[in-house]
Each structure stands twice: as structure tokens, then as C-alpha cells.
Amino acid sequence: MAEYHGLSQIFTTTETSLYNNLFKSPNPPFHSPTALILEISPNPFPQTNHTTTNFVPIIKNNYSFDNLEILDHELETYRSKFNGNGHDNSNNCNVYVAGHVLVYPSYNGFFEKPGLFLDQMFVRKCYRGMKFGKLLFSAVAMQAQKMGMGMVDWLVADWNEETINFYEKMGAHYIPEYRLCKLYGDQLQAFGKKSD
Amino acid sequence: MAEYHGLSQIFTTTETSLYNNLFKSPNPPFHSPTALILEISPNPFPQTNHTTTNFVPIIKNNYSFDNLEILDHELETYRSKFNGNGHDNSNNCNVYVAGHVLVYPSYNGFFEKPGLFLDQMFVRKCYRGMKFGKLLFSAVAMQAQKMGMGMVDWLVADWNEETINFYEKMGAHYIPEYRLCKLYGDQLQAFGKKSD
């Protein structure tokens, strides 16, 4: 995803940082950075009791994946360790990761209710055109509703017309006037040293 | 501030919503939406023991406010209830609110460390040109550093050249390509009702 956005040179995420940021937070899911994982299976999806605070997994049966090996050339790499009852390190379940969405709680001082900020939405290339993006987006919007939040917001690259159209069809407002600013690295560190 | 941005028509914040969003969160300051208040006083600022988790008030004595009544025509409206030891409802302290900054924790999946998102920075008109914006910005950047965060980010209106210059002088990166999308109101509610 960082490659797609031409941001490989600033990419510093590691397995450890993902673990720390997503799983070691003292705050429950959706009150701190939270990933929803999109998983697919050629078999009926195992009924899950792997619910967590605030979230019940969404299961859809209106897809069929009979020839997964032909569709997905990296199938083994993306085999899930989730077997419906938590994690199964034996790697035997026929469940595969097809995408993810990453959100965290946000707050805009102009609005009555807080929201969810959608930081990343990604569907692996071989699973595109199957409306999985819409499914992930819906899951986030429904979750925001369920938690009494008033909005979902996110950023989109201005050259990404296809995606902008997709968002507008979902009912999103495209707001052209704001630009992102970021302070990081040496420029941020300089502030820690300032005495006046 | 909403007026300044031409956003009065979407402004739904109330005193109750501010209270709920800022003071009723189960998460400690800076792990949920947090406001830093800029206060000024013509007297030496009372030494405070009003520290809170993660934050020690920053006191600067390199300003003088001898003729506050002349400078600030809304002085009484903005008299602070804070007397250095918490809140003093007798309204007798010579401390006045001059501005604020509103932040919440953010997370960008491309970076190793989480950050702070700066949602609002506001200095009342009569206190502009005194480098209070820089002071508030520094307080946020230092706080991010202190908490082991890797960045501060925020949005700026593309027509606001003066502010963009201000941010760039601070060492911020201006990133022209991203646009904000927001899903709220009826369009968000529609997702709660969808069954497929």
C-alpha cells in the first residue's frame, strides 16, 4: 500500500510496531487503533465465537471460492491462523486473508459526536472487483453507528479518481479545500529540545 | 472558528457534547480527545499543582499584560475558573482564556509510532501576533515527543497561505495530494440499516 502511494521512503512500520500499536494498547478495540481483517474461505465459514468488545464478526455467504489456487497465487502466504475459535497455529484452516481496514477513534470539535478515522483500506489485487471494498467500508460505517459515533472520515489522493467516485457513490462528502500537514522526524525532535 | 471556516451550517457542538467528549472518556488525557487551554494573567501565574496524567502545565513569564481591559474587550466572558489548584467557582482569579488546542491520538499504518492529530488550534483575535500559536503548537509537539509518539498531523485550508507559511516555518511537511472525505448524517445512518 505504501508502494502504491509512493511512500516507501517514509514507511517505518515493523511487525513489532504493528503488534505494539494494535494489540498492546490499554484501550479496548475501536477506542484505540483497530484493524478489521477480511478473510475468505472456500468452505462454509466456521461459525465463530471469537467476538471481542464492541464487535461481532460479520459473515457473508454470498460468494463462492471454488478455485482459490487459480485466483490467488499467494494463497499459502495469506493462510489465516484464525480457525473460528481464536488462533490456530497449526495453520490448518482453509481461511485466507484478502484485505483489511485500519481505523481509530477521531474527534472533530465542530460536531456533537466523535467518529472513526479510516486510515487504511486495502483489498489484495486478486480479490478486487468483488465489492470487498464496499463490504469493508460498510463494516466501518455500521460500527461507527453502533458505537453512537457521528461520522467516518478519511483521506484520499486527489489523483485517485476511481476511488473518489467509489466514495461518493457510498454517500461520502468530498471536501476539496483541506491539505494535510505532518511534523515528524528531526523537525518533531527539535521541539523536545526547545527551552522557550 | 466554525464561522471563520464557513462551517456554521454543520456545527453541532454543544456544551454537553464537549463535556461528554472531553471529560467523560474512560481513557486518560491524550489517549482520547484532549484540550490544552491557553490562559493569561496580569499577575504572576499561580504555581500549579493541577497536574494530570501525562501532562504538566507549561508556565511562561516572558509576557506582560498590564492593561488587559484595554486589550481584551471580552475579558469577563473569558475569566477562567482555574486558580492554580483546580477550579474555583467563585470566579475571583485574575486568569483569562486566550486560546486552546484540541488533539487526539492518531495512528498511521505506514509509520512505526503513533501520533497526535491536531484538530483545532485557536487564539482569540485580541491575542494574535504574540506568538501564542507557536506556543500551543510547541506544547503539542513536545507532548507527542514525551509520549514516544512519532508525529503530529493536522489539516489546513488551502486558501490559508499565512497559516501554511507558519506551519512550514515550524518544520512541518505540507502534503498537497490528499483530500478529506466525510460520511455523516443521513448517509452514515443508511449503513446501519443495510442488511447485505
Selecting among A167, A174, A178, A184, the annotated active-site residue is A167
- Residue B58 with chain A: CB contacts under 8 Å: none
3-state secondary structure (DSSP) of residue A97: strand
| pLDDT-based confidence at residue B72 (cuts at 50, 70, 90) | very high
Out of A27, A108, A186, the one facing B31 most closely (by C-beta) is A27
Confidence (pLDDT) at A84:
58
Nearest-CA neighbor of A163 among B172, B178, B127, B3? B178
Q: CB–CB of B31 and A33 under 8 A?
A: no
Looking at the complex, does the CB of residue A109 fall below 8 Å from at least one CB of chain B? yes
Shortest distance, CA A9 to any CA of chain B (angstroms): 10
Looking at the complex, does the CB of residue B167 fall below 8 Å from at least one CB of chain A? yes
| pLDDT-based confidence at residue B182 (cuts at 50, 70, 90) | very high
pLDDT at B45 over 70: yes
Q: CB–CB of A10 and B110 under 8 A?
A: yes
Confidence (pLDDT) at A51:
65
pLDDT at B91 over 70: no
Give φ, ψ of B15 to 5 degrees.
-60, -40
What average pLDDT does the segment B26-51 reach? 85
B146 vs A85, residue with greater confidence: B146
Nearest CA in chain B to A159: B177
Shortest distance, CA A100 to any CA of chain B (angstroms): 11
Chain B interface, mutation test: which of A179, A187, A193, A196, most B Cβ atoms within 10 Å? A179
Chain B interface, mutation test: which of A16, A61, A104, A107, most B Cβ atoms within 10 Å? A107
Interatomic CA distance for residues B118 and A159, integer angstroms: 25
Cα-based distances in Å from B195 to A45, A52, A59, A142, B105 = 18, 21, 12, 10, 32
pLDDT at B15 over 90: yes
Segment A60-65 long-range contacts (CB within 8 Å, at least 24 positions apart): A60/A135, A60/B196, A62/B196, A63/A130, A65/A40, A65/A41
Confidence (pLDDT) at B21:
92
Confidence (pLDDT) at B87:
57
Chain A interface, mutation test: which of B18, B110, B186, B195, most A Cβ atoms within 10 Å? B110
Q: CB–CB of A32 and B174 under 8 A?
A: no
Confidence (pLDDT) at A26:
83
What do you get for the CA distance between the two ends of chain A, in Å? Answer: 40
The answer to whether B156 and A175 have CB atoms below 8 angstroms apart is: no
pLDDT in 10s for each residue of chain A, 196 residues: 888 878 888 899 999 999 999 988 888 899 999 999 999 999 887 666 666 778 888 889 888 888 899 999 999 999 987 665 665 555 567 899 999 999 999 999 999 999 999 999 999 999 999 999 999 999 999 999 999 999 999 999 999 999 899 999 999 999 999 999 999 999 999 987 755 4
Nearest CA in chain A to B163: A181
Confidence (pLDDT) at B9:
86
What average pLDDT does the segment B125-136 reach? 94
Q: B117 is written with which cell numbers?
A: 492529530
Shortest distance, CA A89 to any CA of chain B (angstroms): 25
The answer to whether B37 and B100 have CB atoms below 8 angstroms apart is: yes
pLDDT at B40 over 50: yes
- CB proximity list for B163: less than 8 A, separation 6 or greater: B156, B157
Q: CB–CB of A145 and B189 under 8 A?
A: yes
pTM of structure: 0.91
Looking at the complex, does the CB of residue A69 fall below 8 Å from at least one CB of chain B? no
**Is B167 annotated as catalytic?**
yes
Pairs of residues, one from chain A and one from chain B, whose beta carbons lie less than 8 Å apart: 246
Shortest distance, CA A86 to any CA of chain B (angstroms): 24
Interatomic CA distance for residues A22 and A52, integer angstroms: 14
3-state secondary structure (DSSP) of residue A155: strand
Nearest CA in chain A to B131: A196
Shortest distance, CA A64 to any CA of chain B (angstroms): 16
Secondary structure E strands in A11-95: 34-40
Give φ, ψ of A15 to 5 degrees.
-60, -40
Sign of CA dihedral A110, A116, A119, A125: negative
A123 vs B93, residue with greater confidence: A123
Looking at the complex, does the CB of residue A175 fall below 8 Å from at least one CB of chain B? yes
